[in-house]
A = this chain, B = another copy of it.
Amino acid sequence: MKAGMIGLGAMGTPMARNLAKAGVLTAVYNRTEEKAHRLAQELAVCCAPSPEVLAQSVDVVFLCVSKDAVVLALVDAICPVLKAGSIVVDMSTVGCETAQRAAVLLAEQGVGFLDAPVSGGVEGAKNGTLSIMVGGEEKHLEHVKPLLAAMGDKIIHMGPVGAGQATKAVNQVMAAGINQAVTAALALGQAQGLPMAQVFDVVSGGAAGNWFLAHRGKTMLQGVYEPGFKLALHHKDLEICQAMAKAQGLSIDFLDQTLADYQRLMTEGYGDEDISALYRLKRPD
């Protein structure tokens, strides 16, 4: 089985490396050609000059980009040249409808589609320990499972096409709420002049303990906000989540608040910082 990776960003690059390590990667493509060229040299794989050329040469196309429109444009482009029986796996975080539209388009050509967004951050992508939330047909998942196993250690079938994206939305909404919870609570401690190392210690160990506090609390309190997970990307994901919530008739106050807070931080030039940069708006002066 030959695989190609389209989209060589912070996540796509280490994921491509793990596919190469597993011996299945034969081609890469990236909009910024230089990145693709360098990685192709490093991994001794083909640097495709276009998505179409990549698609002609492989059985499985992985997408790892950042926008719904880009996913759909790529699927439009590669659809006519893909062999029947090949599979497109979209690992981007996009909307359920995008996944469903892509699946319908590809099915007309006899091509399978899975939405397979991931969580576990850049560290997980590097170490091959991502959690992969898969929507689509069981038979397609079985077909590409050995390839997914090169990138993640938890591969969970969530249901039909779109169910992977729906699950990712649950994860991203929870992460937003926890960001609000942790930054507001630490700000209350700091405003009261508490010794924050001790606060961190005692709160982490109790019923309010959480991954985000454990992994970002200390740096946040030092005013260090290196990604991690870029704030502008979480903002993009949360816009998708907000649309999903609205479609279900759900209104989530902290989600609206987080979108507004992130927007303000992006306007102030902090979009490339970690999401813990939310503390910039919460900490006492």
Contacts and interface: CB of A to CB of B under 8 A. Distances in A.
Interface residues of A, number: 66
Copies in the complex: 2
A245 interface: yes
B177 A173 contact: no
A205 B120 CA distance: 8
Contacts of A206: 119-120, 131, 171, 211
Contact of A182 (B119, B174, B191, B212): B174
Interface stretch (A35-43, A59-67, A156-164): A156-164
A184 B194 contact: no
A70 interface: no
A191 B158 contact: no
B250 A178 contact: no
A140 to B, nearest CB: 18
B119 A194 contact: no
Interface in A178-209: 178, 180-182, 184-189, 191-195, 198-199, 201-203, 205-209
Interface of A: 96, 119-121, 131, 133, 154, 156-159, 163, 166-167, 169-178, 180-182, 184-189, 191-195, 198-199, 201-203, 205-213, 215, 229, 241, 244-245, 248-250, 252-255, 257, 284
